[in-house]
Amino acid sequence: MIDLTKATQKHIVLVGNPNVGKSVFFHYLSSVYVDVSNYPGTTVEITSALLNKDFIVKDTPGIYGVSSFNDEEKVARDVILYSDEILNVVSAISLERDLFLTKQLIDMGKPLIVAVNQMDEAREIGLEINIKKLSEILEVPVYFTVATTGEGMADVKNALLSGKAKTGSVDPVLQRELTELLPEVTNQAEALLLLEGDLVISERHKIKPRNKRNEIYSQRRKNVNEIISNVISIKNKKERFLTKISNVLTEPVWGSIIALFIGFLFLYQFLGIWIGSDLISFTEKKIMNAYYEPVVREITGQFFPVEVLANNNLYSFPKGFMAEKEKYNKLKQYQTEKKEFFFGPSDYIEEQSLELRPQSSQLKNNFLSAVGTILAGKYGVLTLTVTYLLGLLLPLVIAFYTALAILEDTGYLPRLAVLVDGLLTRIGMNGRAIIPLILGLGCVTMATVTTRLLTTKREKIIAITILGFAIPCSAQLGVIQSLLAKSGGIAFWLIWLSIISMVLVLTGFIMNKFLPGKATPLLIDLPPLRFPRISNVFYKARTKIMFFMTEAVPAFFIAAFIVSLMQVTGLLNRVIDIFRPVSKNLLHLPEEVSVSFILGMVRRDFGAFGLTELHMTAAQVTVASIVLTLFVPCIATVAVMAKEQNWKIAAGIWLSSMVLAISVGSILARILGA
């Protein structure tokens, strides 16, 4: 393995404004995928990979300038300061904006190659860019590219590998001032930032900042305007069809109607009906329940005590099938008959429909019975857990992240941020907060980390609290949509959505009122609206699915083992008894729902799956879904909340969400007559 920090390797740094396609370049150059998102804030940390044995390529957050104004710029600043070469990616359709950063990089004395990306969209609206003339003015190599199709990418890579990066021309007056400062700092880049009044560089070298930012910025803007007038010509300029659609998406009335329709289509129709009902009925019932689980239980029954209910007869095998082959062969004649397997007395815990009692069973509580129950019983790690993972969780997660990747790749999410900015400002944040809230629908733990892109601590606390209170993760969301769609239809789904939305808004209003400060203005870059590209959608969805499943699978098996252990030791019954006053008396739900709430503390999605095993009315399903959505964040999320803020805030959110969930559920149970 090659050391990424080896001194002999050159460091090539990707630099550019948000939404210019840097991450696609990084993927192309390094063959390591990074989230290619059409909204800022997704690459807050630096990612490194090998271009070859001699070059390291680094991706940086999207920035508008090298300074210390926000988190993205602070993260990118030091990497740029001490880089060997820079690949500056600019957008052909926003060249006037992007070249400001290019000129700053040139003034920093950095060897540079410029890639003018998104040329296909520039051609579409009639923009012509004289690449040769632009290269002559900047005095650095310039290439045009279409990163999403690969056009021009090979030329850029060859230029990097052959060392064609050059330092551009700096204004003579500015160069003289920079040269005077060089003895006091490390390099010309630091000298420029010191002239621009960067306090971090000033503190680092114990030098008073020169505070010439306004003068330098004004001259730089003038230079960029002159460059644009010389290299860009407009022929038959026309407004893109997608630009017209983009304008509609941010218009208050029509944009809101479209957003509500997309929400309905995504949550209810797609996740609830097509995936949660139609697809999962096939993957869970017709594949896992019908084929996989019987085979596993049949194999387990060969070696462990088991009882089988077939053709209304109960067959007992206290030593397993192998010990009583004749009776087992008789049982095998019921191949087309549905068979129920019981590996121990505790396996009858949920048998309400059968006229069986543990007393009629010949199974005894012993070690073999306990092992059989843990492996293949009602909560078996080889049966129910695998069914949940492959039959329910995987289809839901694939569907959710694919749909989210499509929304991201089109550029719809930043438009949604603009649309909801007014509402979110009233609850203490700006429209940018919609990004972690939507990401929370995938994984609340991951979304909690992305609250770093919010400007103030106040906004981060409000966002984290809302994530903990009212945002379900992808698998939990999918299961709940499926349950509501199958049991109560659109009416009960609207009740669930209304209650969750009300809690979200009220939480924000209350925190906005009592936390000092106010929401900051929304500053967000709107990328062009695009048709999603299959390759981008595939890579985005695959990366997030792998991340989610890698985290979820071990937790599912651990949770299943713990529940099975509680089942065979009798602790599960005790827990149900302890929570009976809450589940049965307050919430008017089956007492077994307590197991789902306990599992939800470990992982929310695992808790949601427990609801699929219970027989409930539409009103009960609605109450249970709302309570579980509002119930405590999972252990991983609480830990991340404590890391991002502190343990007091995390513990407060955890306890408050439990009280809130039970209170809202109790009131709703009486209103709906659950």
What pLDDT does residue 352 have? 42
Does residue 63 lie within any of the structural domains?
Answer: yes
pLDDT band at 622 (very low <50, low <70, confident <90, very high): very high
Does 532 have pLDDT greater than 80?
A: yes
Does residue 548 lie within any of the structural domains?
Answer: yes
Does 5 have pLDDT greater than 50?
A: no
What pLDDT does residue 3 have? 45
What pLDDT does residue 238 have? 58
Give 393 or 299, the one with higher predicted confidence: 299
Does residue 284 lie within any of the structural domains?
Answer: no
Contacting residues for 425 by C-beta, under 8 A, at least 6 apart: 431, 519, 522
Average pLDDT for 480-487? 86
Check: CB of residue 672 under 8 Å from CB of residue 623. Answer: yes
Does residue 3 lie within any of the structural domains?
Answer: no
3-state helix, strand, coil in the chain (%, to 5): 65, 10, 30
Q: What average pLDDT does the structure give for the chain?
A: 84
CATH number at residue 224: 3.40.50.300
First to last CA, the chain: 61
Question: 338 burial class (0-12, 13-18, 19+ CB within 10 angstroms)?
Answer: exposed
CA distance 603 to 548: 12
* Cα atoms in the 13 Å half-sphere on the side-chain side of 611: 33
Whether 79 and 212 share a structural domain: yes
Whether 320 and 209 share a structural domain: no
Whether 355 and 392 share a structural domain: no
Does residue 381 lie within any of the structural domains?
Answer: no
pLDDT band at 353 (very low <50, low <70, confident <90, very high): very low
Whether 256 and 144 share a structural domain: no
Contacting residues for 108 by C-beta, under 8 A, at least 6 apart: 66, 80, 81, 188, 189, 192, 193
What pLDDT does residue 214 have? 87
Whether 103 and 73 share a structural domain: yes
pLDDT tens digits, 235-286: 765 566 777 888 899 899 999 999 999 988 888 888 888 887 788 889 988 8
pLDDT tens digits, 638-652: 888 888 888 999 999
* pTM score above 0.75: no
Whether 481 and 601 share a structural domain: yes
Whether 19 and 104 share a structural domain: yes
Check: CB of residue 30 under 8 Å from CB of residue 105. Answer: no
Whether 480 and 591 share a structural domain: yes
Does residue 288 lie within any of the structural domains?
Answer: no
Whether 347 and 217 share a structural domain: no
Q: What are phi and psi of 260, to 5 degrees?
A: -65, -40
Does residue 428 come out as left (phi exceeding 0), alpha (psi in the -120 to 50 range) or beta?
left
What pLDDT does residue 674 have? 63
What pLDDT does residue 37 have? 43
Whether 640 and 510 share a structural domain: yes
Whether 136 and 114 share a structural domain: yes
Does residue 81 lie within any of the structural domains?
Answer: yes
Average pLDDT for 401-417? 87
Structural domain of residue 185, as residue ranges?
10-234
- Tokens at 159, concatenated: 């230029």
Whether 358 and 431 share a structural domain: no
Complete DSSP assignment for 616-673: --HHHHHHHHHHHHHSPPPHHHHHHHHHHS-HHHHHHHHHHHHHHHHHHHHHHHHHHT
pLDDT band at 88 (very low <50, low <70, confident <90, very high): very high
Does 355 have pLDDT greater than 60?
A: no
Does 36 have pLDDT greater than 50?
A: no
Final residue of a structural domain among 200, 234, 268: 234
pLDDT band at 630 (very low <50, low <70, confident <90, very high): very high
Does residue 299 lie within any of the structural domains?
Answer: no
**How many independent structural domains does the chain possess?**
3
CA distance 573 to 578: 9
Judged by DSSP in three states, 103 sits in: helix
* E strands present in 68-141: 85-91, 112-117, 127-129
Give 29 or 130, the one with higher predicted confidence: 130
Amino acid letter, residue 583:
S
CA distance 321 to 302: 5
Does 392 have pLDDT greater than 70?
A: yes
pLDDT tens digits, 305-316: 988 887 777 888
Does 363 have pLDDT greater than 90?
A: no
Question: 234 burial class (0-12, 13-18, 19+ CB within 10 angstroms)?
Answer: exposed
What pLDDT does residue 541 have? 87
